[in-house]
Amino acid sequence: MKTKCTIITLLTLLVAGPLSAATITPAWKAGVATVILTPDQPMWMAGFAARTNVSQGKSTELYGKALCLEDAQGTRLVIITLDLISVPRALRNGVEAALRKEHNLPREALLMNCSHTHSGPEFTLGDGPLPWPMFGNPARAGAKSAEDYGRELQEKLIELVRRGLASFAPAKLSYQHARCGFAMNRRTLRGGSYDNFPNPDGFVDQDVPVLRVDGVDGKLRAVLFGYACHNTTVDFYQFCGDYAGYAQRDFELSHPGVTALFMMGCGGDQNPYPRNTSELAQLHGRTLATAVEAALQTRPRPLPGPLRSAYAEVELNYDGPPSRTDYEAKLKSSDKYEARYARRFLDQLSRDGKLPGNYPFPAQVVQFGDDLTLVGLAGETVVDYALRLKKELAGPAVWVAGYCNDVMGYIPSRRLLREGGYEPCSSMIFSEVHPGPWAPSLEERIIAKIHELNDGLRPRPTANK
Ligand SMILES: [Zn+2]
């Protein structure tokens, strides 16, 4: 019996050959492009509210990168990754409109993701509310303004995609994944409330999903990899991509000519630990780059396609905005951000007579045939969404990214709203958009929309004749 099994196994290997990237059917075109986004002048930095000065130099460059794909049917997908704090809605809208006009690229074919590095510049677009999470620091002589950077950024990204699409070449795609351990839940119950403190027993998603792009010659051209963890290892005055920047750099140094792109996962309540030194950011980056190498040693799942994608907005409600009296009490706060928050919404109440009751949350689903489903959630999505969607969505591989398309604030789960603390409640004082916390219905509304988009993309079974 044993001999028979061995013979069958050998025959299978002889017929099918060893499963490697070289055996994947080439059905794709892929293009990659990179642009440096490091400001050429000092700027106020985004992410940590306590900074008192503009930037002083850089530890790493900050990059924007585009991975452009087209399947055998001509369906395209453009993924833009940014070593920046945010993807403001206005930036997504501006890039989307330009790509539609220039390349006839539909809305659902664009996915934008930011690493949420806390060592990048603060920038804005247009004259609407400040994008999240920006602090609106005053102009400083000799420093580039947030408005100028935002305008230049949008133009650079449009040009980036132009170059990415122009570099299309036949390619093969496959999916692999591994694990990496430095992300830890950062919500700890102490003295009756949840503090930002390492919690080794809290929920995590330490998956490292990798989309691998090979040329038809079998040579690696690009890797898009993910991890669910805040880029907050360092808190200093130098521009730096934090662990995600170092991971991309280290992987590219080990693979000359290959582009590595980082896509942030649902790391809204996850921090890298230990943290607070530049050496640790480099170490975490090295560790994550090593995890990507480990993923590449696992059995690849070929992705023959086709590509299917959907994009929609779902209205999320606020939990009954605070009253005028609540805001007036906050107006007296010694915390300048809380006072600013109260002033903004009191002004809005006086001007409009009411406050917004809901917010349009962008949700995106991309299917690589029936082999890989990529979910793009907006906002600072917490880990509960990734864990839940990976369980609930059909299909052999599910990749859930947060920080996509419109990073407008934290997106807590129903559980986090019940528990309270920074992400669901007190962080709101940094927002110029949300008048108060989300209603607990947000989790079910987001999950239901993702199911609806995912089910709608699946090809209908053909009826038997
Ligand atoms: Zn954050």
Q: What is the pLDDT of residues 143-176, one digit of tens each?
A: 999 999 999 999 999 999 999 999 999 999 999 9
**Distance from the alpha carbon of residue 51 to the mean position of ligand 1, in angstroms:** 16
pLDDT exceeds 80 at position 409:
yes
pLDDT exceeds 60 at position 77:
yes
**Distance from the alpha carbon of residue 174 to the mean position of ligand 1, in angstroms:** 31
Of the segments 26-35, 132-141, 152-161, which one has the largest average pLDDT value? 152-161
**Distance from the alpha carbon of residue 258 to the mean position of ligand 1, in angstroms:** 29
Q: Where do the DSSP E strands lie in 71-182?
A: 76-82, 110-114, 169-179
**Distance from the alpha carbon of residue 369 to the mean position of ligand 1, in angstroms:** 33
Residue tagged 């010659």 (tokens): 217
224/205 Cα distance (integer angstroms): 17
139 band by pLDDT with thresholds 50, 70 and 90: confident
Burial (CB count <10 Å: 0-12, 13-18, 19+), residue 221: buried
Q: How far is C-alpha 310 from the chain's CA centre? A: 17
Considering only CA atoms, which of 36, 48, 62 is closest in space to residue 245?
A: 62
26 band by pLDDT with thresholds 50, 70 and 90: low
**Distance from the alpha carbon of residue 90 to the mean position of ligand 1, in angstroms:** 19
**Distance from the alpha carbon of residue 50 to the mean position of ligand 1, in angstroms:** 14
DSSP lists the bridge partners of residue 193 as 190
Which DSSP category does 21 fall into? G
- Identify the pLDDT of residue 462: 66
**Distance from the alpha carbon of residue 46 to the mean position of ligand 1, in angstroms:** 10
Round to the nearest angstrom and report the end-to-end CA distance of the chain: 42
**Distance from the alpha carbon of residue 10 to the mean position of ligand 1, in angstroms:** 51
Q: What is the pTM of this model?
A: 0.93
- Identify the pLDDT of residue 138: 85
**Distance from the alpha carbon of residue 239 to the mean position of ligand 1, in angstroms:** 17
**Distance from the alpha carbon of residue 411 to the mean position of ligand 1, in angstroms:** 10
Residue tagged 């082999």 (tokens): 371
Which DSSP category does 51 fall into? -
Q: How far is C-alpha 367 from the chain's CA centre? A: 17
**Distance from the alpha carbon of residue 100 to the mean position of ligand 1, in angstroms:** 30
